[in-house]
Amino acid sequence: MTVSYSWLNSFFKRPLPQPEKLAEILTMHSFENESVEKKKNDWVLNIDVLPDRGGDCFSHLGIARECAAILNLKMIFPLIRIKEGNQKIKDFLKVEVRDKNCQRYSARIISNVKVGPSPKAIQDKLVNCGLNPINNVVDAANYVMLELGQPLHAFDYDKIKGKKIIVRKAKPNESIVLLNDNECVLDKRIMVIADENRALAIAGIKGGKAAEISEKTKTVVLESASFEPKAIGQTARKLNLRTDASARFEHNLDPNLTETALDRLSQLILEWAKGEVVSGMIDVYPVKTKPGKIKLEMSLLNKILGIAIPQNETVNILSRLGIRVLSKAKDSFVLEIPTFRQDLIIQENVIEEVGRIHGYDKVPSTLPFIKTYPVERSKADLFVNKARGVLKELGFAEVYNYSFLGDKEKDKYKLKMEEIQNPTSSFSKYLRPSLIPLLAKNVEENLKWFDKVKIFETGKVFFGQDKKIGEKTMLSGGVSLKQDKEKAFLRLKGEISFLLEQLGVKKIVFEKEDNDSLEVFVNGEKTGKIVRIGQGFYFELDFDVLIKHASEEKEYEKISYHPPAIRDISGIVSERISLEDLKERIREGGRGLVRGLEVFDVYQGPGIGKGRKSVSFHIIFQSEEKTLDAETIDKTQKEIIKVLSEQLGWEERK
Amino acid sequence: MDINSLKETIEKELGGVKNSKELRDFSNKYLGKKGEIRKVFAEIKDMAVEEKKVMGREINEFVAELENKIDELREVLQEGAVESEKINVNLPGEKIESGHLHPLTSVRREIEEIFQLMGFAVVEGPEVEDEWHNFDSLNIPEGHPARDVLSLGKTLYLRNKLVLRSHTSPAQTRYMKKLGAPLRIVIPGRVFRYEKTDASHETNFYQIEGLMVDENVSVANLKGVLEKFLQEFFKKKMSIRFRPSYFPFTEPSFEIDISCSVCSGVGCPACKRTGWVEILGAGMVHPQVIKNGGLDPKKWNGFAFGMSIDRLAMMKYKINDIRWFYSGNLKFLKQF
């Protein structure tokens, strides 16, 4: 809201503080001031009126009331007095309201006006406040809107067919040519102001050409109405037509304001465009808005604000806001809320009023007195943070990517994704089902500047689940593979094992999916994969699965002082048998004497036979009780080989 | 025996000694207990007294000379050995490649830790929300401008009345229902907006929501907690101010400014010449929201606040464009 400083001052006998100072006071007690600008003969304040105060503060009167309440100043109001003529309004016009979204429709008629430019000083004021002067009738309507906050409209009486105004819903495919010459097609949810034949204006939003005021206009019909805010807001947004009128009607304007505004408008038109006011006012106002009542408890006020504001100070602040005390009990008041404060509904609304006028700077800073209670630590959060630390140790850099993917990724990776109904662009039409596509993009991009790229990301990915959309936490990463691909792959595989071990995951199994990819299993449950895309290898771990198997627990393993003995075994098995299976059987056959186990060779190829592989292990034998003699070790080794061959078809190589 | 030919042999052999081990062997061979020199002494034992005297002196002189030479050579050889093991400590240290945590991860952790120390638990809410939690539970009914798809509403809509959460506030009622009261939580997380991106706007970014519900919570407590938080985060006493604001889910509502760190409150372009920078939205939880969380507003009240983690990180590291965070650019990320 652009507010003229001199206009504000006209509401007071004593001058207000300087513009900059006033802006600061309003910022601290009412609304933020974005800027103060010097204009022709004046200053303007750009005030960011809060959305719940649009009903009374999109006006100079409203802002002046704020100044009066904060600074405890007495206001003076313009004197509104009009002399009516002899002709009666009912002989001129009938008004029929057929739409419940019109809460009040008030109208006056002025005959014999002389349409022309409005006074220079008025034109300057309008320009300073961001409006273009048009003619004395329209300018008067705009002036009163800026002054009191009530949007008003003037029709050329002679252009109204049937001498009747009807407030109704638009007919299907009805259209209207607006004052800016744009044609607008309406639908049956849109409320219009019409005569017997056609729509003259879109209610609460914009007037039409049909009954526009022109230099030839002799008699004007002045409309001052009240509409349901939601209806106006929705229409304005639907038509993408936001006007000074709609911006005000979208808020809770005081329906009781229409009459005052209409009289003020008539007064100014008489002053600037001459003419004669027809006797009487048409006023369709079926349900009158009455002042509200709110009970205010001082104990709640003090509890919420955390400061004891004395009763008399509270009453004083309320009266400065136009709120009257109807009755008083020991600790509470019943208050009468003026109808221009439609935003005050519950006690807490009033407490906010008292708090802000009193000044939040007077509220002390007090740490709360708290009760302790046990808080469950989030396991997911704990392990995600741990995983981040481990990956950082391994030299990975953490990236954050968007949660969105576009058609490009959809086609490239053949993804099935949840769609966003109102995406911001074609690059962000879908919810990511995986972190890998954008990590792959990151790797390719960064390879322009770096020889080696190692990155990871944790974040939510999304998937359809009948009527719902599921989400889960993923941990993914990527490494570039400029040099030795196998080395790069095995390094990554080792890093994933390291990561999982650090998270306390016990049984990790990698299974070959195809040439360039592996699947990762934890305790037999599929947890993730490693894949190759272009110039990089990427891994993906389902953190929700991982967490189930992760553990912070550690147990001390007794350190033996007896010497260990190392023996090697080599053999041939089917390639389908995993290293983890072999290890498990070796431990089984070792009967507690296998202290360490390490694979030192895996070979597939000529001399071994198709579908088979050769595997070699170092086995470390050690006992907690005694030094193992050669005989015991030989016996144990034979037992291991027996278990391997019986259960997994192991053929020992000599 | 020819003492002179022995001398000659010894001199020649000594000239061929190349390292300490050879020198040790050489020394043992000639000067050791069973060495050649001893043998010579044994041989002259039976000579005439006069002859024995002359020979004895000559041999002793030779031995002394030889021992000197060996000592000299030993030193030379040892120096040589040290030379080969010598290190140049003045060369630059090896460059260690470290990994990096994203600045938003670090800042988020730091914020969480400060609130944890004040007794707030860290919890998370879903990124895909239903309209009830994102809007209705927070007093934003159907038809409210904030829910509009086209202009005012910056919400990204999905199917079946689902949305990408536009703020972390929907978690307020979720956790009131789940954990009851008293309650002290912070809810960090990713939020989504329909935005044209620029240096200060993104389509996804991070917020942290705070919520305290108890029997006796006041604006003064909100002030105390936030002042303490800002002081801990910025590592100095911060000037802050509470301005009136409006949110449908808090009453009273505030916007909280901190003194501009660029100009120390004097006024500069960074703070639009006001000396203050807006950093937080907050307020006392609206009684209807307490009720929507399944609690009795007559018994329980509370405060809530929300702030952008991205914005705090930008202030902390003096980052001028929010889009760096989501660029995946290692030139940026390796700085942290």
With b for 16 or more beta-carbon neighbours within 10 A and e for fewer, the B297-317 pattern comes to beebbbbbbbbbbbbbbbbbe
User: Among residues A257, A5, A35, A6, which one has the least CA distance to residue A144?
Assistant: A257
Query: Closest approach of chain B CAs to the CA of A190, in angstroms?
Result: 15
Task: Name the segment(s) of chain B with CATH classification 3.30.930.10.
Answer: 103-333
Has residue B33 got a pLDDT over 90? Answer: no
Q: Which of A504, A521, A549 is the last residue of a domain?
A: A549
**How many domains does chain A contain in total?**
5
Alpha helices by DSSP H, listed for A368-476, are 379-393, 407-413, 436-446
**Residue A15 domain-assigned (yes or no):** yes
Classify domain B103-333 at the CATH superfamily level.
Bira Bifunctional Protein; Domain 2 (3.30.930.10)
User: Among residues A283, A289, A229, A228, which one has the least CA distance to residue A255?
Assistant: A289
A536 shares a domain with A436: yes
Alpha-carbon distance B86 to B90, whole Å? 12
Residues of B within 8 A of A47 (CB-CB) are: none
Two tokens at A406? Answer: 């576009």
Two tokens at A646? Answer: 């019986």
A146 shares a domain with A48: no
> Taking a C-beta distance cutoff of 8 angstroms, is the pair B279, B307 a contact?
yes
Has residue B151 got a pLDDT over 60? Answer: no
User: Among residues B239, B243, B273, which one has the least CA distance to residue B259?
Assistant: B239
Closest residue in chain A to residue B273, using alpha carbons only? A35
Structure confidence at residue A35 (pLDDT): 87
Structure confidence at residue B80 (pLDDT): 65
User: Among residues B197, B196, B173, B194, which one has the least CA distance to residue B185?
Assistant: B173
Structure confidence at residue B54 (pLDDT): 84
**Residue A76 domain-assigned (yes or no):** no
> Taking a C-beta distance cutoff of 8 angstroms, is the pair A22, A312 a contact?
no
**Residue A648 domain-assigned (yes or no):** yes
Has residue B152 got a pLDDT over 60? Answer: no
Percent share of chain B, pLDDT over 70: 96
Which residue type does A160 have?
I
Distances (CA, A) of A559 to A209, A538, A563, A625: 96, 39, 11, 11
Query: Closest approach of chain B CAs to the CA of A541, in angstroms?
Result: 18
Structure confidence at residue B58 (pLDDT): 84
> Taking a C-beta distance cutoff of 8 angstroms, is the pair A431, A415 a contact?
no
What is the per-residue DSSP string for B117-135? Answer: HTTPEE----SEEEHHHHT
Q: Count CB-CB contacts under 10 A for residue B263.
A: 16
What is the per-residue DSSP string for A293-326? Answer: EEEEEHHHHHHHHTS---HHHHHHHHHHTTPEEE
Going by pLDDT thresholds of 50, 70 and 90, the confidence category of residue B218 is very high
Query: Closest approach of chain A CAs to the CA of B30, in angstroms?
Result: 45
Candidates B100, B152, B212; nearest CB to A237: B152
Structure confidence at residue A603 (pLDDT): 86
**Residue A372 domain-assigned (yes or no):** no
Query: Closest approach of chain B CAs to the CA of A40, in angstroms?
Result: 23
CB contact under 8 A, B109 and A385: yes
A418 shares a domain with A356: no
ipTM comes to: 0.87
> Taking a C-beta distance cutoff of 8 angstroms, is the pair A567, A637 a contact?
yes
Cα-based torsion angle of the residue sequence B116, B117, B119, B121 in order, rounded to the nearest 10 degrees: 10
Beta bridge partners of B250: B247, B285
| B92–chain A Cβ distance below 8 A for any pair | no
Q: What's the angle, vertex CA A54, arms to CA A51 and CA A55, rounded to 5?
A: 135
The whole-number average pLDDT for the span B240-249 is: 95
A611 shares a domain with A510: no
**Residue A373 domain-assigned (yes or no):** no
Per-residue pLDDT of B263-314, as tens digits, reads 878 888 777 778 888 999 999 999 999 999 999 999 999 999 999 999 999 9
Has residue B130 got a pLDDT over 90? Answer: yes
| B294–chain A Cβ distance below 8 A for any pair | no
A408 shares a domain with A260: no
CB contact under 8 A, B329 and A446: yes
Q: What is the mean pLDDT of chain B?
A: 89
Structure confidence at residue B85 (pLDDT): 67
Going by pLDDT thresholds of 50, 70 and 90, the confidence category of residue B322 is very high
Strands A164-169 and A183-185: unpaired
CB contact under 8 A, B286 and A348: yes
Closest residue in chain A to residue B241, using alpha carbons only? A361
| Coil vs helix vs strand at B331 | helix
Q: What are phi and psi of A595, to 5 degrees?
A: -95, -35
> Taking a C-beta distance cutoff of 8 angstroms, is the pair B268, B294 a contact?
no
| Coil vs helix vs strand at A81 | coil
Structure confidence at residue B60 (pLDDT): 86
Structure confidence at residue B296 (pLDDT): 97
Q: What's the angle, vertex CA A328, arms to CA A327 and CA A329, rounded to 5?
A: 130
CB contact under 8 A, B219 and A462: no
Q: Which of B95, B97, B102, B134 to mutate to test the interface with A (most CBs of A within 10 A)?
A: B102
The domain of A42 spans 2-71
CB contact under 8 A, A421 and B272: no
Tokens 């004021």 correspond to what residue? A125
| B141–chain A Cβ distance below 8 A for any pair | no
Structure confidence at residue B1 (pLDDT): 56
Tokens 């729509």 correspond to what residue? A199
Alpha-carbon distance A137 to A164, whole Å? 21
Alpha-carbon distance A429 to A415, whole Å? 13
Query: Closest approach of chain B CAs to the CA of A23, in angstroms?
Result: 11
CB contact under 8 A, A240 and B105: no
Structure confidence at residue A70 (pLDDT): 97
**Residue A16 domain-assigned (yes or no):** yes
DSSP E strand boundaries for A622-654:
651-652
A37 shares a domain with A154: no
> Taking a C-beta distance cutoff of 8 angstroms, is the pair A195, A96 a contact?
no
Structure confidence at residue B149 (pLDDT): 62
Query: Closest approach of chain A CAs to the CA of B198, in angstroms?
Result: 13
Alpha helices by DSSP H, listed for A166-305, are 229-239, 244-249, 257-273, 298-305
DSSP E strand boundaries for A89-217:
94-97, 102-111, 152-156, 164-169, 175-177, 183-185, 191-194, 199-202, 206-207
Q: Which of A325, A360, A395 is the last residue of a domain?
A: A360
Residues of B within 8 A of A447 (CB-CB) are: none
Closest residue in chain B to residue A463, using alpha carbons only? B128
Which is more confidently placed, B288 or B144?
B288
Residues of A within 8 A of B326 (CB-CB) are: 400-402
Q: What are phi and psi of B292, to 5 degrees?
A: -60, -25
| B93–chain A Cβ distance below 8 A for any pair | no
Residues of A within 8 A of B221 (CB-CB) are: 306, 366-368
* Alpha carbon B334 to its chain's center: 12
Walking along chain A (654 residues) 10 residues at a time, the average pLDDT comes out as 96 95 96 91 94 94 97 94 93 96 97 96 95 96 98 97 96 92 92 95 95 95 96 90 93 95 97 95 96 96 95 96 95 96 96 97 92 78 94 97 96 95 93 97 95 95 94 96 83 93 87 82 92 92 93 82 90 88 90 89 85 91 89 92 91 83
For the whole model, what pTM was predicted?
A: 0.84
- Helix, strand, coil share of chain B (percent; to 5): 45, 20, 35
Alpha-carbon distance A617 to A195, whole Å? 97
CATH of the domain at A642: 3.30.70.380
Q: Which of A284, A313, A339 is the last residue of a domain?
A: A284
CB contact under 8 A, B105 and A388: yes
